[in-house]
């Protein structure tokens, strides 16, 4: 990933936070940058490790608080099945997400289907259930792995 692309992404996140009146602190920005640069789902421990490589020693609660903030601001999503985080592909608006997760290369593709979202909400309501949020995770094989290309 090119550095300028990462900076563009972080500046965009910064602008969004400014607009919402919330603070993207240096630490939150760093955590977001690590998740975005990973390009794959990344766990909290791995994030902590990468921050330590930068020479500092952040405490785990600091990282968890940063993750909480980023989730709350819809800048990242949590993949429950993998216990890992991914940067959101379209953080400018709140949305329910669907993820295609390749079990071979770990690639994650974020989908956004209002139709599927509506169907799930309708089904939940027929059971008297009030959904707060939902994330659909579909595991399988991505197009590249299906073609037999190794991702390395
Ligand atoms: Zn998203
Ligand atoms: Zn794959």
Judged against a pLDDT cut of 70, whether residue 1 lies above it is answered with no
Q: Are residues 9 and 63 in the same domain?
A: yes
Position 8 in a domain: yes
Q: Is residue 73 part of a domain?
A: yes
Helix spans in 21-104 (H): 26-38, 44-53, 60-72
Residues forming beta bridges with residue 85, ordered by sequence position: 42, 78
Res 151 pLDDT > 50: no
Residue finishing a domain among 59, 87, 115: 87
In the reported structure, the alpha carbon of residue 36 is separated from the centroid of ligand 2 by a whole-number distance in angstroms of 18
Number of domains into which the chain is organized: 2
Distance from the alpha carbon of residue 123 to the mean position of ligand 1, in angstroms: 22
Q: Are 19 and 83 within one domain? A: yes
Domain enclosing residue 60, as ranges:
3-87
13 and 55 fall within a common domain: yes
Identify which ligand lies nearest to the alpha carbon of 146.
Answer: 2
pTM of the entire predicted model:
0.84
Distance 74 CA to ligand 1 centre (A): 7
Spacing, Cα 55 to ligand 1 middle (Å): 31
Q: Are residues 50 and 77 in the same domain?
A: yes
Straight-line distance from the first to the last Cα atom of the chain, in angstroms, rounded to the nearest whole number: 16
Q: Which helix (H) or strand (E) holds 137?
A: strand 135-140
What CATH number is given to the structural domain containing 79? 1.10.10.10
Check: CB of residue 90 under 8 Å from CB of residue 112.
yes
Task: From 142, 41, 45, 145, select the one nearest 97 (Cα to Cα).
Answer: 41
Ligand nearest to the CA of 105: 2
CA of 147 to the centre of ligand 2 (A): 9
**pLDDT tens track for 56-98:** 788 889 999 999 999 999 899 999 889 999 999 888 887 888 9
Query: Mean pLDDT score of the chain, rounded to an integer?
Result: 90
**Residue 152 within a domain:** no
Tens digits of residue pLDDT in 97-116? 899 999 999 889 999 888 98
Instruction: Identify whether residues 47 and 112 lie together within a single domain.
Output: no
Are 28 and 49 in a shared domain?
yes
Q: Cite the beta strand spans of 70-134 per DSSP E.
A: 76-79, 84-87, 97-102, 108-111
């Amino acid at each position: 990933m090119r550095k300028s692309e990462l900076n563009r992404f972080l500046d965009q996140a910064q602008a969004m936070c400014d607009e919402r009146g919330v603070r993207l602190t240096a630490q939150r920005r760093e955590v977001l940058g690590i998740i975005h640069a990973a390009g794959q789902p990344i766990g909290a421990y791995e994030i902590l490790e990468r921050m330590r490589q930068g020479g500092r020693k952040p405490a785990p609660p600091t990282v968890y608080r940063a993750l909480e903030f980023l989730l709350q601001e819809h800048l990242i999503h949590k993949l429950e099945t993998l216990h890992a985080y991914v940067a959101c592909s379209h953080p400018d608006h709140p949305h329910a997400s669907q993820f295609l997760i390749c079990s071979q290369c770990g690639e994650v593709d974020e989908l956004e289907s209002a139709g599927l979202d509506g169907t799930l909400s309708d089904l939940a309501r027929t059971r008297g259930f009030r959904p707060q949020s939902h994330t659909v995770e579909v595991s399988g094989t991505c197009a590249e792995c299906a073609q037999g290309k190794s991702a390395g």
